């Protein structure tokens, strides 16, 4: 049996990485110093300025007592300060703890207690929300690089510091020795399967290797001159961090920084700067495509899109490719793998529904409950191994042991199937499987059918308690603007394409679906909402 049948489709993509492990920040070195690296609103940073500023920040951090292995928390949206402090922290040998600036104080308190940072970088707008007497220095960074606003915020919070003061100095950092395969670069917090926040320890090489793997995956679609990356994904999320920022820096691209994705804001950047690479989530592609249809926005500059964070419906994929003339493919990963492990091919190889093939240097297998490989075509848990797989969970040896085998296999918690060609398909999360009348129903399969219905813009399927069936399927629908939604017709549409036990018994039309910061539809919120409200919609007749 060929244990890696996917390699037959690799074309010119290397089977394994030949690159020498390096500290992650080395990607910044050697770029043309006058070449634009960052664009935010009407401001730019060149690669020369970016390298110089990260050195100033590294030195300033060392001056306030930050040493190798210390944690520095970033609580910033996409802006110059995020990129500069991120790489500055790495250059002084410290560890980045990137946190969602939309977290509540209670959520932040849990993570800060666990990470125990030695410094915290926050936007000036956060000054009124900071509790007094934090046990570490606070550094204010204005999103629009306004030093005066930083000083005003600092005056309100005694003992704090200003990023603009650091950037006004002319200091050279000391070179801190880094072991790329062992030294942690980022603590990436993930809820995992338990909902308990855990910090995935991602080394310099974990993150850099994943950016290198991504570069090889899209190598023949990269520009001969300079690519431009539209970054609507938040950089504090490992997907935007790797496939957006770290990959963009690695290939010397221009990064278009969008603090918060809206189709209008993204459209303005598309019209002004003509991005060639757009990593995103399915909801972003849906929203931008819908906006483009109504405004005649030209999306033809976009050549390469890897969709992550949630399953990519085939209808969304085909529509976005029609509008751009480029390639939109589904990738798969998880925070513990920096994050990408699989992706549909971007070159001329067979296209099949699902997450495609393992990345270069990545091993994958589908196993049963005892850890034994299942026959080809059988469903089981997906295990992966490769240079991008985390070192372990921060201060959680037992959880590390449960998730990461001694041989380096990461247990993903996702149910997958591999076909005879080595193409993988995620059936669903173990925890999201709906057991209806004894049958397993995978929400993704039902959602794929709902997305094919012309009047459906977005859809999500959850299981809700049912005394007779165990669980009942409920679908939440956002209708397309200007397209009337006939639920009886939608139900008939589903019945023609799904086995009877897979057809939703309840439909609810809503204005919006709850989403995470990266645009992932939050099924758990919908599930909790349904169970809290009871069955308030009219059921579909079996």
- Domains, in order of start, for the chain: 5-18+186-429 (3.40.50.12780), 42-177 (3.40.50.980), 433-533 (3.30.300.30)
Greatest Cα pair distance in the chain: 73
pLDDT the model gives residue 319: 94
In the chain, count of helices (H) and strands (E)?
A: 15, 25
pLDDT the model gives residue 81: 98
- pLDDT tens readout for residues 25-81: 999 999 999 999 999 999 999 999 999 999 999 999 999 999 999 999 999 999 999
Contact 64/88 with Cβ under 8 angstroms? no
Q: Which residues of the chain have pLDDT under 70?
A: 1-2, 191-196, 428-431, 437-438, 467-468, 532-542
pTM for the predicted model, two decimal places: 0.85
Tokens describing residue 506: 């309840």
Tokens describing residue 447: 């959602």
Tokens describing residue 433: 């499987």
Residue 489 DSSP label: H
| Cα–Cα distance, 26 to 160 (Å, whole number) | 30
Distances (CA, A) of 427 to 13, 23, 286, 312: 27, 36, 22, 13
Contact 337/390 with Cβ under 8 angstroms? yes
pLDDT the model gives residue 53: 98
Tokens describing residue 360: 């270069």
| Cα–Cα distance, 84 to 34 (Å, whole number) | 17
| Cα–Cα distance, 193 to 336 (Å, whole number) | 12
In the three-class reduction of DSSP (H, G, I as helix; E, B as strand; rest coil), residue 256 is classed as: strand
């Amino acid at each position: 049996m060929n244990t890696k049948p996917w390699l037959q489709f690799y074309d010119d993509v290397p089977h394994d990485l030949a690159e020498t492990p390096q500290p992650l920040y080395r990607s910044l070195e050697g770029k043309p110093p006058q070449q634009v690296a960052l664009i935010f609103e009407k401001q730019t940073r060149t690669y020369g300025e970016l390298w110089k500023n990260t050195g100033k920040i590294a030195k300033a951090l060392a001056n306030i007592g930050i040493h190798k292995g210390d944690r520095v928390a970033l609580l910033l949206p996409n802006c110059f300060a995020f990129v500069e402090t991120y790489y500055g922290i790495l250059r002084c040998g410290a560890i980045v703890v990137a946190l969602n600036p939309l977290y509540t104080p209670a959520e932040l308190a849990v993570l800060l207690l666990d990470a125990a940072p030695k410094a915290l970088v926050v936007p000036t707008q956060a000054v009124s929300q900071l509790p007094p007497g934090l046990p570490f220095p606070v550094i204010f960074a204005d999103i629009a690089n306004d030093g005066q606003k930083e000083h005003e915020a600092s005056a309100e919070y005694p003992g704090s510091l200003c990023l603009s003061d650091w950037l006004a100095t002319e200091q050279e950092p000391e070179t801190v020795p880094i072991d790329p395969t062992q030294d942690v670069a980022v603590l990436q917090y993930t809820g995992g399967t338990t909902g308990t926040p855990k910090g995935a320890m991602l080394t310099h090489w974990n993150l850099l290797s994943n950016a290198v793997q991504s570069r090889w995956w899209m190598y023949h679609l990269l520009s001969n001159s300079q690519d431009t990356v539209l970054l609507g994904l938040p950089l504090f999320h490992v997907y935007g961090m790797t496939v957006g920022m770290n990959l963009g820096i690695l290939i010397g691209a221009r990064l278009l920084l969008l603090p918060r994705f809206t189709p209008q804001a993204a459209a303005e950047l598309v019209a002004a700067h003509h991005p060639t690479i757009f990593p995103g989530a399915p909801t972003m592609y849906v929203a931008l495509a819908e906006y483009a249809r109504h405004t005649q926005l030209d999306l033809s500059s976009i050549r390469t899109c890897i969709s992550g964070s949630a399953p990519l419906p085939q209808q969304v994929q085909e529509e976005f490719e029609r509008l751009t003339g480029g390639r939109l493919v589904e990738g798969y990963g998880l925070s513990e793998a920096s994050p990408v492990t699989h992706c549909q091919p971007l070159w001329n190889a067979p296209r099949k529904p699902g997450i495609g093939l393992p990345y270069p240097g990545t091993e994958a297998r589908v196993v049963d409950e005892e850890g034994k490989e299942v026959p080809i075509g059988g469903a089981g848990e997906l295990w992966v191994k490769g240079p991008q797989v985390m070192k372990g969970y921060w201060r959680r040896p037992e959880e590390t042991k449960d998730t990461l085998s001694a041989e380096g296999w990461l247990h993903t918690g996702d149910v997958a199937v591999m076909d005879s060609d080595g193409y993988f398909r995620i059936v669903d999360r173990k925890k999201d499987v709906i057991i209806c009348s004894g049958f397993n129903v995978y929400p993704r399969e039902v959602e794929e059918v709902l997305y094919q219905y012309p009047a459906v813009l977005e859809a999500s399927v959850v299981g809700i308690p049912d005394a007779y069936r165990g669980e009942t399927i409920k679908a939440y629908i956002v209708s397309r603007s200007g397209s009337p939604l006939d639920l009886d017709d939608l139900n008939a549409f589903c019945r023609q394409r799904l086995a009877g036990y897979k057809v939703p018994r309840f439909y609810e039309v809503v204005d919006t679906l709850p989403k995470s910061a990266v645009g992932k539809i939050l099924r758990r919120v919908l599930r909790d909402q349904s169970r809290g409200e009871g069955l308030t919609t009219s059921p579909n007749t079996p």
